[in-house]
Structure formats: structure tokens, C-alpha cells
């Protein structure tokens, strides 16, 4: 099964009424663990990395590893740049062969966000890649470095934004935030319903870590077709390693390597079941 375009994966998810998990990865172990879960559950997936994480995992190195994992997988895998903020980085991901990019203009005025998103859509078109953008503002930042206030998406703006930019996927803010939630999130399903009834493009939920299974299900039954999971993957890989040290089962580097793979695998598999993507790779 080849590397695929995110647009195709999300169109299939719209038809089949499920969501595709978009899992952030930081190293080879996480890539291996997430792909293992996808192959075992026969789930289509998206492997992603955010621009802000590239100081730790340079795109020129992790990008080709993500693409190679997708090309060698037995299930459809799209490879995505998450929260692209600069044309340089977005261009680098496209040149490497990423099948989609996100342009995050959520901090800009709506007009500026539309203008810059259109630039990215035009650029990506030359590579046959899909584009995700954000309207409204998801709380926090992808790596927790900035405490950005959540600003719920206006359904009217979402409609105008999607029509004027021609994006393939639209991230919305409905009470969701990146990182661990301090209090249980109360998602604004009233906003989701309004956006879903007026916008045709697949919707994206960021800030997946800590959202309850019943809320995920309500989201993917109402237009959310891509769900981003980052912090939970990192925490699962790290937690499994810590458990191994505490129990004394990690005796050398390759035990640590296996523990990280196992953590990423278990976390991804759990989410694929909640997203109803199991068996949808066929």
C-alpha cells in the first residue's frame, strides 16, 4: 500500500463515517510503533511532525524516515507537516514529498490568514499535495512553549474561509487545546454542528490528548475526519520507558528502544479503535 494523499484518506473517512488518526512522531521508535498499530488494526493513518519540533528532529532526516515508513507500510499512510508557519519550511516538506502540509495562520487577522493560506494552496498544488489550515484558534501551542488563548471558530468565518481558500481540510477551535488539559475540556458541539452543516471540507480536531472517548466519537460522527494526537504519543513512549526502568526490565539501549515502540503502539491502537478507523484500510 503506497504513500497516499491526505485528501483521499479524508474523503474515504467522510464516506465511511470515521476519523483518521494523525499521530505526531519525533523519532524512529514512534514511527515504528504507530505504523505497527495501523498495520495490525488495518487502519489508514497520517504521520505528522510540527515545524516547532524540528529543532529536535530535523526535517531533512526525520522527513525521509516518515516517507519511507509510509511507502513500506501495508496500509495507506499520508505524511503531513503540522503547524507550518513559514513558507521555507512548508516548501522543504513539499520538496521532500510530504503529501500534505498545514499552514497555521490562526494568529493572523482573517484576511491575512486567507491571503497566506491561498499562497500555500497554490504552492502545494504544484506538488499535488493537500493543505490544512486553521480558522479560530486552538488553545496553547503544539509544544506547550506559548500559552495561546483558545478562540472558538465562528461558523460564518469557517464557511467564508473554506470557500475563499480552497483548503482540503479545516482545523477548528471548539474548546480544544494542545497538551494536557488542566480541567476536562467542554467541547462546543453547538459550534461543531453549525460548522459541519455549512462547510463541506473535512474538519480537523487538534489537541486530541485528554479528550474523552465519547467526545471523540461525537466529533467524528459530526464532521471531524482528522484527529491530531501528539502529547499522548510522547507521554506513552516516555512512560513505557520509565516503567521499564522502574521494573528493571530495561537493561540496555535496545530494551529502551522496544519500550518506546510499545508505548507509541499502544497509544495509537487505542485511538484507532475510538476513531472507528479499524479495518478501514481495506
In the complex, the residues that contact ligand 13P under the rule CB under 6 A are 24, 50, 82-83, 142, 178-179, 206-209, 228-232
Q: What does residue 260 show for φ and ψ, rounded to 5 degrees?
A: -65, -40
> At closest approach, how far in Å is the CB of 267 from ligand 13P?
10
Catalytic residue, chosen from 12, 82, 104, 168, is 82
Q: How far is the CB of 229 from ligand 13P (least distance, A)?
A: 5
Q: How far is the CB of 46 from ligand 13P (least distance, A)?
A: 11
Burial degree of 234 (CB within 10 A; 0-12, 13-18, 19+): buried
- Cα atoms in the 13 Å half-sphere on the side-chain side of 206: 30
Nearer to ligand 13P, 25 or 38 (CB): 25
Indicate if 168 belongs to the active site: no
For ligand 13P, give the closer residue by CB, 178 or 225.
Answer: 178
Instruction: Name the pairing type of β-strands 77-84 and 100-103.
Output: parallel
Are 142 and 18 in contact by the 8 Å Cβ rule? The answer is no
Q: Which long-range contacts (CB under 8 A, 24 or more apart) does 84-92 make?
A: 84/51, 84/120, 85/51, 86/51, 87/119, 87/120, 87/123, 89/51, 89/54, 89/59, 90/120, 90/123, 90/124, 91/123, 92/59, 92/60, 92/63
> 147 vs 156, which CB is nearer to ligand 13P?
147
Query: Could you tell me whether strands 224-229 and 203-205 are parallel, antiparallel, or unpaired per DSSP bridges?
Result: parallel
Residue whose CB is less far from ligand 13P, 83 or 244: 83
The DSSP H or E segment spanning 239 is helix 231-247
Q: How far is the CB of 62 from ligand 13P (least distance, A)?
A: 16
Whose grid coordinates read 488563548? Answer: 149
> Which residue, 207 or 244, has its beta carbon nearer to ligand 13P?
207
Shortest Å distance, C-beta 192 to ligand 13P: 16
- Within 8 A by CB and 6+ apart from 113, the residues are 105, 106, 133, 134, 135, 161
Active site residues: 82
Amino acid at each position: 500500500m503506497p504513500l497516499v494523499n491526505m485528501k483521499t484518506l479524508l474523503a474515504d473517512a467522510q464516506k465511511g463515517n470515521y476519523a483518521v488518526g494523525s499521530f505526531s512522531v519525533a523519532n524512529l521508535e514512534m514511527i515504528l510503533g504507530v505504523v505497527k498499530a495501523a498495520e495490525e488494526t488495518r487502519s489508514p493513518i497520517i504521520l505528522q511532525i510540527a515545524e516547532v519540533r524540528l529543532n529536535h528532529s530535523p526535517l531533512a532526516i526525520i522527513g525521509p524516515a516518515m516517507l519511507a515508513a509510509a511507502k513500506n507500510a501495508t496500509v495507506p499512510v499520508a505524511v503531513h507537516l503540522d503547524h507550518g508557519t513559514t513558507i521555507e519550511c512548508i516548501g522543504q516538506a513539499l520538496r521532500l514529498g510530504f503529501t500534505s502540509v498545514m499552514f497555521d495562520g490562526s494568529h493572523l487577522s482573517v484576511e491575512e490568514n486567507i491571503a497566506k493560506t491561498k499562497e500555500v494552496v497554490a504552492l502545494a498544488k504544484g506538488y499535488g499535495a493537500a493543505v490544512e489550515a486553521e480558522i479560530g484558534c486552538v488553545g496553547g501551542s503544539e509544544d506547550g512553549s506559548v500559552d495561546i488563548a483558545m478562540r472558538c471558530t465562528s461558523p460564518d468565518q469557517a464557511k467564508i474561509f473554506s470557500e475563499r481558500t480552497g483548503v482540503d481540510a479545516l482545523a477548528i477551535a471548539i474548546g480544544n487545546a494542545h497538551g494536557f488539559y488542566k480541567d476536562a475540556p467542554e467541547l462546543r458541539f453547538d459550534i461543531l454542528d453549525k460548522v459541519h452543516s455549512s462547510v463541506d471540507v473535512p474538519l480537523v480536531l487538534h489537541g486530541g490528548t485528554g479528550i474523552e472517548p465519547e467526545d471523540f466519537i461525537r466529533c467524528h460522527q459530526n464532521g471531524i475526519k482528522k484527529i491530531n494526537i501528539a502529547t499522548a504519543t510522547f507521554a506513552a513512549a516516555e512512560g513505557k520507558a520509565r516503567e521499564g526502568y522502574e521494573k528493571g526490565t530495561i537493561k540496555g539501549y535496545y530494551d529502551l528502544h522496544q519500550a518506546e515502540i510499545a508505548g507509541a503502539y499502544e497509544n495509537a491502537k487505542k485511538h484507532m479503535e475510538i476513531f472507528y478507523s479499524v479495518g478501514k484500510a481495506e
